[in-house]
Structure 1
Amino acid sequence: MNLVRRASAAALAVLILAAGACDSGGDAEPESAQPDKVTYLTAVGAFGRESYAWVAKEKGFFAAAGIEVDIRPGSGTTENLALLASGRAQFSANDLSAVMIVLGNGKYRQDVRAVAAIQQRTLNSVTALSGSGVNTPRDLSGRTVGGVRGGAPWLLFPAYAKLAGLDPRTVTWVGVEAAQMPKLLATGQVDGVGQFVVARPAVEKAAGGRAAVVLPYSDVLTDLYGNALIASTKVLREDPDLVRRFAGALIDGLLYAIEHPDETGQILRRYVPTADPVTAAAEVDLMEPYVRANGVVGAFDGARVARAVAILRGTGIITGDLPTADLVAFDYVTGQVR
């Protein structure tokens, strides 16, 4: 068949298909919409406390919301916010207090907003080991603490120390990779690590069962939230519905995770082969009361956010004004008792 005949045959086929569509009454199925593609950064690494994002992916919550998510291990507050501001990611999880510090001191204020509370109470702590002589905040004087540079425990430590009666200048912080912190603590290369309270199982496993001593920042820093879902202001402006869908799906994953910690550990292992599912499950189990504090999941309280800013300003860790509207977009998650 020559090219003319091929073209004629193709045209005839189009006419036949069109006629068939008319004969069927126009009931042909529309093409399914393509999912929105986004990049999400965990707060730090791929630990059990970050596993709810993979749960949301595995259980189909993101897919049901019409979203395809590339989940990448984050590197702490300052690095994550820089990636959001540059457009290389659209969403991240980060400690809200650390975000307050960065924005309150003038960086990324036009670039990011918090849209959902992942934990209703701060998880930050300094963690040591039993027998090290560190049992209270003041015992950290003259000691060395390892932490992720730009991470929440390091950024927030001066405020914690001042309220706990410790001069923060007497403590030396050194930068370490998040995955190396338990090992460095277990081998005595640091006296403590800036860590989330739910990391206790990983610390004790690395230390061969030796008990961890956890100094929670929440003992003196009241009203502080834990991690929050952070969105770039670009995606907030251009597609607010995407933000609502993403936040809802992530919170569904969060709730499923804390209600099924053992399954969550296995899901994390599926996506992150180096993860220990037992340790991950233990972290998720410890996180449950922080997620559901007062029965509220996901939502922020504006008055409480303002009090948290005032606390940090009072310690001098935030030097400028920080209106809550420059920090949180309150209209994307409705508070629910679940």
Structure 2
Amino acid sequence: MKFDRRSFLAAAATSLAAPAAFAQSAAPKEKFTVILDWFVNPDHAPLFAARYSGAFDRAGLDVVLVPPTDPDLPPRLLAAGKADAALSYQTQLYLLVDQGLPLRRTGTLIDKPLNTLTALGRSGITKLADLKGRKIGYSVAGVEEALIGTMLRHAGLGLSDVTLVNVNFELVTALMSNEVDAVIGTYRTYEDIQLAQAGLRPVIFLPEDYGVPPSDELILLSNTSGLANPALPKFLAALKQGANYLAQHPDEMLARFLKDNPNLNDKLDIASWKALPGSFAQDPAHLDAARYTTYRDFMVREKLIKTSLPLEDYAVQIKV
């Protein structure tokens, strides 16, 4: 069994062609390109449901989903004008804007935090205080270090009490091989399920239970130059229809998804699909302003961004 997300990229790159029934249409459609955050996986279910239910067709859109060759690329490709939208994370949004990239959050795919700090049962770790003197693996410098530090403070510890190890997205491999004692960046709907299915008894700590403000896990970014693109509200409206159809017909949508992505027809991805309902935004255009300003203030306190910009410099609500 393969345990790391990166290993799926090559296979996923060939899985995105629209089914023939959707590729053919009597009327020309407007192309709308979305760069995914990672390889195709159940997190993207509303996008596929919007395709399968005909919502994109009814909106007159030819939506092209593109998996990146590197998960760091989507926002930068969007900033360079290579797509109409890209998927990313609220936790990264502030860093991107702070770096001067012309990006705004214009939609939300998953409006619940999925991130976890995870250890294995065999480690003897049962509470955060048990991490003292241990190694913690991470993938994204800056934000994840701040998350670990915030969580540790709630247990009376600090970053000096642990050793941080950059495992470069190989979170599960590093954990299983005992390279580290815990990792941050696993998803409660994916890697934590992998570990449980392997009989490794994951011990899961939720950042929002230890002082980290909740955030939208997966968001839609647009280039500032594309905020007035008339296809954007059409896309968001169709995505809402897809999310609603998915909620009503999860098994039908799963069958279509697995037919188009046979490389994902396995116990893990099916379990992940079934764990995700309730996490998808039912109104992707809706902006929770308080959530975005609260997380901005957290980023400022942690000295991850230099300036506390107004909300509209990070996120906007598109009228649909």
- TM bin (shorter chain): 0.7 to 0.9
Q: Cα offset for 1:276?
A: 3.5
Q: 1:135 aligns with which of 126, 129, 153?
A: 126
Q: TM-score, normalised by structure 2?
A: 0.77
Q: Cα offset for 1:309?
A: 1.4
Distance 1:184 1:329, change over 3 A: same
- The equivalent of 2:244 in structure 1 is 255
Flag the structure with higher helix content: 1
* 2:38 is equivalent to residue 48 of structure 1: no
- The equivalent of 1:218 in structure 2 is 208
Q: Which amino acid aligns with 1:328?
A: A
* 2:89 is equivalent to residue 95 of structure 1: yes
- The equivalent of 1:172 in structure 2 is 164
The 2-side partners of 1:158 and 1:78 are apart by: 23
The 1-side partners of 2:68 and 2:139 are apart by: 11
Q: Cα offset for 1:62?
A: 1.8
Distance 1:53 1:162, change over 3 A: farther
The 2-side partners of 1:242 and 1:101 are apart by: 27
* 2:301 is equivalent to residue 305 of structure 1: no
Q: 1:202 aligns with which of 194, 210, 214?
A: 194
RMSD: 3.1
Q: 1:116 aligns with which of 107, 116, 121?
A: 107
Matches within 5 A, 1:61-76: 61-74=55-68
The 2-side partners of 1:45 and 1:306 are apart by: 30
Deviates more, 1:154-163 or 1:113-122: 154-163
Distance 1:136 1:322, change over 3 A: farther
Larger Rg: 1
The 1-side partners of 2:305 and 2:238 are apart by: 33
Q: Cα offset for 1:314?
A: 2.3
Name the SS for the 1:62 alignment partner: helix
The 1-side partners of 2:69 and 2:128 are apart by: 26
The 1-side partners of 2:32 and 2:121 are apart by: 43
Q: 1:36 aligns with which of 16, 19, 30?
A: 30
- The equivalent of 2:313 in structure 1 is 326
Unaligned runs of 5+ in 1: 1-30, 334-338
The 1-side partners of 2:95 and 2:165 are apart by: 18
Name the SS for the 1:231 alignment partner: strand
Q: Cα offset for 1:203?
A: 2.9
